[in-house]
Structure 1
Amino acid sequence: MSALAAPSPDPVEPTDAVPVAVDGLPAAPPVDPAAEAAALEAAEREAQLARLMQRMQKTADFPALKDSIRGIQKISRSDTAHLRALSDEVLGDVGLTNKLLRLINTAFYSSVGGGSITSIKRAIALMGFQSIGMLAASLALFEKLPKGPDGARVQAEFRRALLAGMLASEMCPGFKHQELAYLSALFQNLGTMLGWMHFKDEATEIEAKLVELRAAAAAEEAEAGATGAALDAHPDPLHATVQQTAREVLGIGYEDLGVEVARQWGWPEDLQLALRRLHPRDPELPAGSDERLRVACTAANLLAAKLEALHDPDEIAACLAGFLPAWGVPLGLDEAMLGGMVERARSEWIEMATLLGLQLPNAAPAKGGKGPAMKTTAKPGSTGNGPELIKPRATASAAAGAAGAPAPRPAPPKVAVPAAVGQALGRALEAVSELAMSDAPLAAVLQALMTQVQQALQLQRIVVCLREPASGDLVGRIGLGDRASALAPQFRIALNPPNCLFGLLCAKNADTLISDAGDPVIAQRLPAWFARQVQAPTFLLLPLKLGDKPLGLIYGDRARPHTLQVGDAELTQLKAMRNQLIMAMRMRGAAA
């Protein structure tokens, strides 16, 4: 061997493959088996989703439903759309128009003109863009549900979702949040409904597998001695199993299917995200503002599944007692509040379901035929609805109770509210709504609201307070009636912290009627400026609040005690007017 010859290399132990550059090209990155498997799974999922969407597109009803809901939602969520745009969109579907008008004219909507609304334009003016968009979207889906025995299963899903929507809107107080919560909870089970509408064979197979799994889970609970009555820290243990079973059969989970369809309908990302269930991170801590909507909609769907077949008050009370440990603190609910919410939601649900022709499972009507009889431990003066701690037509006793004072002298019997008051408020609501959705300046909307409400309730004066950015106080800005312009600047209501009855009620967002301000218990808690300058013996307070942010206050009074009467129907109209004002403020940038 030549001395110059290179020695033979030593044997090299095997190692992991090392990328080698070839012909000057960069080395290929190492292959990650896990990432490769995940990419393959994602590709298969997308392919299966495309196949499912193609099957749905072949169903005659689906493209029409998609276009209808997409158009309605796009317009109803717009800050700049006008009455004609949304009314034209709804009127494009004759069946939807007739069903929507029929729904609006039920007793449930009588306070905003139900029974006399003959056009979609008037309905939008009375109820607002968001409300009509919400109802139209749910009705558009309902109209496409299969009828007869073949559609029984999907109609049952829709019926339960309808109750969930009602419950979620109660759990999310605030004009904007209520509407979004209703839609989100209603459509959280959209994928399941679509499965039964378009893939019945696969849905039947999924259901059969789930029945077996539920039976096994029930047997395990029984063996462990669990009662199954409580919704514990893992209140939806089979949800992941449902999604996994759907993926095994359909190739995609029901939840993913619903979100994808919502995306194709043009729903915004925040609403798409709300369609995914979310449980509280900690049942001992309040849900964060960024997750509260999803948590509330998840809770509403779970509670609806438990409640829909119950009608005995004791059974309902037991169900709610089991619900509270996991959801009470995260959603800020107590026993009294939850009882009131459920009672109202079930009443609305029964009326709407009856109108739509949905078969209710053993639901017994409550007093007056409006809903199921229920036990509730709601305290006197409590609406049970979020921050509204005082009944809208609260007497001096209720208001004093909210302020932590002993009960004052009894109030005299209530006088029936004349029918003319409701009629006048109905006309006022329509006028204010149309102006709020026009291009009129905010000052014109405020002036119209004050004029209309003063005339309808025959008030001595009315004053509107708005939040002062520097101090956070509510300050009187504009007034109408006896000395109202001169007295308006005297109104100054501190909220941080509240230091009088006005501030407390505004901070709590409590719509309140004080029948007799001369009652000693009430008088000692009134602001000093009120006692010195205003001295009204009876007055109404309607706070203006957007979410958690106070915006102002509508105040109205009369010259004699116990002469101002506001019933439930009148209050609903006043609230609707107040909501139109808040919407006008938001549209005009005054709610920042």
Structure 2
Amino acid sequence: MVKAVLLERLWTRMNERGDFPLLSQSLRATVAAMGNDDLDFGALVQVVLSDFALTQKVLRLANSAMYMAFGGNITTVTRALMVLGMDAVGHLVVGLKIVDHFHQSAPRRIDAKLELNRTMLSGFVARKLTEGGDVRAGEEAVVCTLMRQVGKLLVVFYLDSEWDEIRVHLELGATEDEACNQVLGVTYDELGREAATRWRLPDTIRTGMSRYDPADDDGQPQQWLRAITNYSTEVAKVLTSPELTDDARAAQVADLARGYSRVLATDADALVQMSLAIAREEADDGVMREIVELHADADAIARSERLDPEARIAAGIADLRALPSDSPFSTALTLVSETVLASLGFARTIVFVRRGSNVFEARLGFGPGVDDAMPNLTFNAAFQPDVFHLAIANSVGIFIENARDPKMIARQPAWFRASFSDVRAFVLLPSVPQRGAPIALVYGDWLTSQEPRRISQREMSALNELARELARFFSPASIEAA
């Protein structure tokens, strides 16, 4: 039951971002085309041609030295499919679509970008391991390796508060599986397999992305896939661990190579040299270099930006202004919610959006208890003597410093008290266009379990500016689509 509830919340959160259904549709179309026994390339050609970057990668692969015997100078995707084979191109498409989805969805948080880059690095290791062999098996191995990480990526990208809780458990000494089960009720591996099932990926992918157990190695092809998937994942983890010295990193890679050399049919020393060479190559201009820079940025943030909420709000405003006005309203809502949540260390954020002329309803929220409370977070715009109606009657936000004061409790609507009885302090920020009534109300709170906090005048001014900027994305059509 816990697993079902968690999965439903995860899929709902992904759909709220707007781009996830497009990924699912694209992956399913690709897999369906791969399973076409009549060799009708049309469906897969259409998937490839819909993405310029993908088209170029397919053509480059078909024109690589490995395929010069087929005549070279391949200029059409149809001819590339004939040379490479449906499965090889299909797996290449699946891998690129997954990586591209998370690139496009990437929040500003550094830890999310680090996890994505670590996943990409594991894919590079898998591709290097399979170079010179069957391209179909190689691309299949890359997809299995990427999918091995998808469960973690889904959590870090879409379940912000749960990801933070998991990291706390890890810092206290829990294993990754223990932390995931405590917070989510499922492991990352289970989430990844669920995603593979929803995307209707082939059985070979679902089998190959599982953990490799040397005790169960029966020499079957799926064991080779599992071994590549696990070796690539573990090597990427070692290569990107900032606390390791070069000698310690090399020693850990050597241990991994000795454990996997037999099943991968590769000499252990050759595995070590190949793995460390990837780190050196990438350090010049690639994912490893970006990982190093992200680690440095994270250290800088830990020292300074965490202490400067105003700077973090300003960064959110800049990101919001960089969005085109015709961007999905849901994207703007997510950006504002994340900025408010992170800037002042709030426990929860909720955005209420005006529907029609009379009702404000919660449209998006982050934090403990929010998902369960969302259906009840609705209020009529007609005046009532409470703080929410005071907020929508103003053009600037209000800060309630002591929400537990009896006089203040009396000014809180019943629906709010019933949903959130653990609030220490909260802020309400109306989003008001240049003309007209508020179109949204942004809420953020601190809980009684947190230390008392205040919002300075400069911070409140920055929050008001952020809320005003949200109004730029409002239209009745965008509200319905959000």
Normalising by the residue count of structure 2, what TM-score does the alignment of the two structures yield?
0.50
Aligned 8 A contact 2:170 2:176 in 1: yes
Aligned 8 A contact 1:101 1:117 in 2: no
Partner residue, 1:253: 187
Partner residue, 2:4: 46
Alignment of 1:538-553 (within 5 A): none
Q: Deviations over 1:14-70 (max 9, x none)?
A: xxxxxxxxxxxxxxxxxxxxxxxxxxxxx3322432333233233311111111112
* Cα separation, 2, equivalents of 1:99 and 1:69: 16
Partner residue, 2:96: 139
Aligned 8 A contact 1:188 1:276 in 2: yes
CA gap of 1:351–1:280, structure 2 versus 1, over 3 A, is farther
1:167 to 118, 125, 134: 125
CA gap of 1:319–1:253, structure 2 versus 1, over 3 A, is closer
Alignment of 1:75-224 (within 5 A): 75-91=33-49, 93=50, 97-104=51-58, 110-111=64-65, 119-145=76-102, 146=104, 150=108, 152-171=110-129, 173-213=133-173
User: What is the CA distance between 1:262 and its match in structure 2?
Assistant: 0.8
The range that moved more, 194-203 or 148-157, is 148-157
Partner residue, 2:223: 291
* Cα separation, 1, equivalents of 2:21 and 2:168: 30
Aligned 8 A contact 1:56 1:62 in 2: yes
* Cα separation, 2, equivalents of 1:340 and 1:203: 34
Question: What residue identity is the alignment partner of 1:280?
Answer: P
CA gap of 1:312–1:196, structure 2 versus 1, over 3 A, is closer
Aligned 8 A contact 2:122 2:235 in 1: yes
User: What is the CA distance between 1:87 and its match in structure 2?
Assistant: 0.6
Q: State the structure with more CA Rg.
A: 1
Q: Deviations over 1:60-87 (max 9, x none)?
A: 1111111111211232354433332211
1:338 to 271, 287, 306: 271
Aligned 8 A contact 1:76 1:129 in 2: yes
2:20 to 62, 80, 83: 62
CA gap of 1:80–1:333, structure 2 versus 1, over 3 A, is same
* Cα separation, 2, equivalents of 1:53 and 1:360: 28
Partner residue, 2:366: none
Aligned 8 A contact 1:259 1:272 in 2: yes
Paired residues, number: 287
Is the counterpart of residue 359 in structure 1 residue 290 in structure 2? yes
Question: What residue identity is the alignment partner of 2:117?
Answer: R
Is the counterpart of residue 328 in structure 1 residue 261 in structure 2? yes
Aligned 8 A contact 2:48 2:55 in 1: no
CA gap of 1:103–1:314, structure 2 versus 1, over 3 A, is farther
CA gap of 1:269–1:105, structure 2 versus 1, over 3 A, is closer
User: What is the CA distance between 1:288 and its match in structure 2?
Assistant: 5.3
Aligned 8 A contact 1:286 1:330 in 2: no
CA gap of 1:59–1:208, structure 2 versus 1, over 3 A, is same
Aligned 8 A contact 2:106 2:157 in 1: no
Q: Deviations over 1:211-251 (max 9, x none)?
A: 3327xxxxxxxxxxxxxxxxxxxxxxxxxx32232232223
Question: What residue identity is the alignment partner of 1:53?
Answer: W
* Cα separation, 2, equivalents of 1:181 and 1:199: 28
CA gap of 1:362–1:319, structure 2 versus 1, over 3 A, is farther
User: What is the CA distance between 1:205 and its match in structure 2?
Assistant: 1.9
* Cα separation, 1, equivalents of 2:211 and 2:272: 23
2:31 to 66, 70, 73: 73
Partner residue, 1:278: 212
CA gap of 1:136–1:330, structure 2 versus 1, over 3 A, is closer
CA gap of 1:140–1:347, structure 2 versus 1, over 3 A, is farther
2:238 to 291, 294, 306: 306
* Cα separation, 2, equivalents of 1:297 and 1:280: 13
Question: What residue identity is the alignment partner of 1:361?
Answer: V
User: What is the CA distance between 1:298 and its match in structure 2?
Assistant: 1.1
Aligned 8 A contact 2:58 2:80 in 1: yes
User: What is the CA distance between 1:318 and its match in structure 2?
Assistant: 3.3
Aligned 8 A contact 2:177 2:187 in 1: yes
Two-structure CA RMSD over aligned residues (Å) = 4.0
Aligned 8 A contact 2:238 2:253 in 1: no
CA gap of 1:317–1:358, structure 2 versus 1, over 3 A, is closer
Aligned 8 A contact 2:95 2:142 in 1: no
Q: Identify unmatched segments of 5+ residues in structure 1.
A: 1-42, 215-240, 364-592
Question: What residue identity is the alignment partner of 2:113?
Answer: Q
User: What is the CA distance between 1:303 and its match in structure 2?
Assistant: 1.1
* Cα separation, 1, equivalents of 2:284 and 2:44: 26
User: What is the CA distance between 1:352 and its match in structure 2?
Assistant: 10
Aligned 8 A contact 2:125 2:278 in 1: yes
Question: What residue identity is the alignment partner of 2:235?
Answer: L
* Cα separation, 2, equivalents of 1:261 and 1:52: 11
CA gap of 1:317–1:252, structure 2 versus 1, over 3 A, is closer
* Cα separation, 2, equivalents of 1:56 and 1:314: 41
Question: What residue identity is the alignment partner of 1:133?
Answer: G
Q: Identify unmatched segments of 5+ residues in structure 2.
A: 295-482
User: What is the CA distance between 1:98 and its match in structure 2?
Assistant: 1.4
* Cα separation, 1, equivalents of 2:156 and 2:29: 25
User: What is the CA distance between 1:194 and its match in structure 2?
Assistant: 0.9
CA gap of 1:117–1:358, structure 2 versus 1, over 3 A, is farther
CA gap of 1:321–1:143, structure 2 versus 1, over 3 A, is closer
CA gap of 1:271–1:298, structure 2 versus 1, over 3 A, is same
Is the counterpart of residue 244 in structure 1 residue 178 in structure 2? yes
* Cα separation, 1, equivalents of 2:38 and 2:289: 36
More helix by share: 2
Aligned 8 A contact 1:169 1:177 in 2: no
Alignment of 1:398-413 (within 5 A): none
CA gap of 1:358–1:133, structure 2 versus 1, over 3 A, is farther
User: What is the CA distance between 1:256 and its match in structure 2?
Assistant: 0.9
User: What is the CA distance between 1:147 and its match in structure 2?
Assistant: 5.8
* Cα separation, 2, equivalents of 1:205 and 1:280: 32
Alignment of 1:27-46 (within 5 A): 43-46=1-4
* Cα separation, 2, equivalents of 1:351 and 1:125: 36
* Cα separation, 2, equivalents of 1:252 and 1:324: 30
CA gap of 1:242–1:313, structure 2 versus 1, over 3 A, is closer
